[in-house]
Amino acid sequence: MALSLKELSKKEETFVSGHRLCAGCGAGTTFRQILMAAEDPVVMSVATGCLYVATATYPYTAWKCNWIHSAFENSAATISGIEAAYQSLKRQGKVTKTIKFIAVGGDGGTFDIGLQALSGALERGHKFLYVCYNNEAYMNTGIQRSGATPMGASTTTTPAGSASYGKPVFRKDLTGIVAAHNIPYLAQTTPAHWRDLMTKVKKALAADGPSFLNILSPCHRGWRNEMKDSINLARIAADTCYWPLYEVENGEYKLNYIPKEKKPITEWLKPQGRFKHIFAKGGNSAETGSTHRSGPNQELINKLQANVDKEWEKLLKKCNQGDKKPDLETVGT
């Protein structure tokens, strides 16, 4: 089906309303888009986290597809078993229809606790899509830092205060880690770029082997932004190059979006309360921990900007696109 809003509006939804995700949560928008992009029936395995807790509250469910709750650490292992059973039944002629398999985890369940199960499933070559809805912390249990949390963010386990400027280390490059598994398809995207996200889901589900999507998923509870600004923040993440939209297809890197004007990282940081201390008087030094009494923690801002610039340049080289601009038609902002 063509990716036009008119056509999509006629499609029956598989992720439906009535769930208990916070109003303005990026995860609901993300999974609505994912399931609308799927052409075949899907079986999903969803790890513990906000998405599971808020959408599958027994005896209610927001999912009109086959669905299993998985433990925090093994969503990819659960889907592996289901996919292997399907392949066996297919070989025996007991199942003839095409079914797609999607494993899901938050960033806690993917970057940290479920990484081993994910790596194993990718290596074994199961034909499934793994989606990490990445809200950059363990939100469901009270906003603890995860391997995806950006440096400088104040969380309940890395609280900014007189002794700390927030999380002291950069986030893990999980997309890079997954790319090192040499799987057929992987990508980064956001729910603000709906056409990009849905195109990537289609490619991922069509891949001949495992595929992976790392989706930046706004969470106003943890990011402490205005509810109404969630999707716009995801857009700013791409415009600052903090969260580049790119894909790796059979080892070939491709940028899907190059902002006309690369915005400074402060545009991503400022609307979020989790970075409020960086702009307040009395912030701590990124290097020494000593207190700045005079104003914003410029040292930390410089460090964050330098990291974004460095990663962006590295990505440009991997994509080797020179002056060739990506096809903006695919982004759909």
Ligand X SMILES: Cc1ncc(C[n+]2csc(CCOP(=O)(O)OP(=O)(O)O)c2C)c(N)n1
| CB contact at 8 A, 286 and 296 | no
d(CA 4, CA 214): 23
Looking at the Cβ atoms of 216 and 255, the one nearer to ligand SF4 is 216
The reply on whether position 153 binds ligand SF4 by CB under 6 A is no
- CA separation for the pair 215, 238 (Å, rounded): 12
* Burial annotation 219-255 (CB, 10 A radius, 16+ → b, else e): bbbbbbbeeebbbebbbbbbbbbbbbbbbbeeeebbb
Q: Which does 108 bind (CB under 5 to 8 A by kind): ligand X, ligand SF4, none?
A: ligand X
Beta carbons of 239 and 187 less than 8 angstroms apart = no
CA-nearest of 53, 332, 15 to 189 is: 332
Cα(121)–Cα(115) distance, integer angstroms? 10
Residues 204-243 that bind ligand SF4 (CB under 6 A): 219-222
* 131 lines the binding site for ligand SF4 (CB under 6 A): no
How far is 222 from 273, CA to CA, in rounded Å? 8
19 binds ligand SF4, rule: CB under 6 A: no
Whole-number minimum distance, CB 63 to ligand SF4, in Å? 16
148 belongs to the binding site for ligand SF4 (CB under 6 A) = no
Least distance CB 244 / ligand SF4 (angstroms) = 22
**Look-up of token digits 């969803």:** 46
Select from 21-29, 97-105, 234-242, 298-306 the region that touches ligand SF4 (CB under 6 A): 21-29
Task: Note whether 139 binds ligand SF4 by CB under 6 A.
Answer: yes
Among 14, 25, 75, 150, binds ligand SF4 (CB under 6 A): 25
Residues near ligand X (CB under 6 A) are: 48-51, 72-73, 105-109, 113, 135, 138-141, 146
Which lies closer to ligand SF4 via its Cβ, residue 44 or residue 301? 44
**Residue 110 to residue 117: CA distance in whole angstroms:** 9
Nearest distance in Å: CB 33, ligand SF4: 15
Phi, psi (degrees; rounded to nearest 5) at 142: 115, 30
Number of residues that bind ligand SF4 (CB under 6 A): 13
Residues near 313 by beta carbon (within 8 Å), at least 6 away in sequence:
none
Check residue 3 for interaction with ligand SF4 (CB under 6 A): no
Nearer to ligand X, 73 or 83 (CB): 73
CA distances from 93 to 66, 128, 134, 295 (A): 21, 20, 38, 69
Contact pattern for ligand SF4 over residues 40 through 59, marking x by CB under 6 A: ----------x---x-----
CB closer to ligand X, 120 vs 125: 120
Contact set with ligand SF4 (CB under 6 A): 21-22, 25, 27, 50, 54, 135, 139-140, 219-222
